[in-house]
Amino acid sequence: MTRELEGKVGLVTGGTSGIGRHTALLFAKAGAKVVVAGRREAEGQETIELIRAEGGDSLFVKTDVSKGSEVDALIQKTVEKFGRLDIAFNNAGTEGAWVPIVRQSEEDWDRTIAINLKGVWLCLKYEIRRMIKQGGGGAIVNMASVTGLIGSVGAGAYSASKHGVIGLTKTAALENAKSGIRINAVCPGVIETPMGERLFGAPAVCKSVVGLHPVGRLGRPAEIAEAVLWMCSDRASFMTGQSLVLDGGFLAGPHSAG
Ligand SMILES: NC(=O)c1ccc[n+]([C@@H]2O[C@H](COP(=O)([O-])OP(=O)(O)OC[C@H]3O[C@@H](n4cnc5c(N)ncnc54)[C@H](O)[C@@H]3O)[C@@H](O)[C@H]2O)c1
Q: In the chain, where do the E strands start and end?
A: 9-13, 33-38, 58-62, 87-90, 138-143, 181-188, 243-246
Q: What is the pLDDT of residue 1?
A: 87
Q: What's the whole-model pTM score?
A: 0.98
Q: Quick check: 197 pLDDT over 60? A: yes
Residues 6+ apart with CB under 8 A from 195: 18, 93, 95
Domains annotated on the chain, with CATH: 9-189+224-246 (3.40.50.720)
The model's pLDDT over 71-116, given as tens digits with 9 standing for 90+, comes to: 999 999 999 999 999 999 999 999 999 999 999 999 999 999 999 9
Smallest CA-to-CA distance from 89 within 35, 141, 29 is with 141
Q: Is residue 91 in contact with ligand 1, taking CB distance under 6 Å?
A: yes
Return the ligand 1 atom nearest residue 200 CA. 3
Closest CA to 38 of 2, 18, 12: 12
d(CA 89, CA 159) in angstroms, rounded, equals 20
The pLDDT assigned to 254 comes to 83
**Ligand 1 site-directed mutation target among 12, 13, 17, most atoms within 8 Å of CB:** 17
Which residue has the least CA distance to atom 17 on ligand 1?
Answer: 195
158 part of the active site = yes
Mean pLDDT across the chain: 97
Tens-digit pLDDT profile for residues 100-158: 999 999 999 999 999 999 999 999 999 999 999 999 999 999 999 999 999 999 999 99
- C-beta of residue 63 within 8 angstroms of C-beta of residue 76: no
| Ligand 1 pocket residue status of 161, Cβ below 6 Å | no
- Residue 88 and residue 184 in contact, taking contact as beta carbons nearer than 8 Å: no
Confidence of residue 256 (pLDDT cuts 50, 70, 90): low
88 close to ligand 1 (CB < 6 Angstrom): no
**Confidence (pLDDT) at 257:** 52
Of the chain, the percentage scoring pLDDT greater than 70 comes to 99
* Residue minimizing CA distance to atom 8 of ligand 1: 145
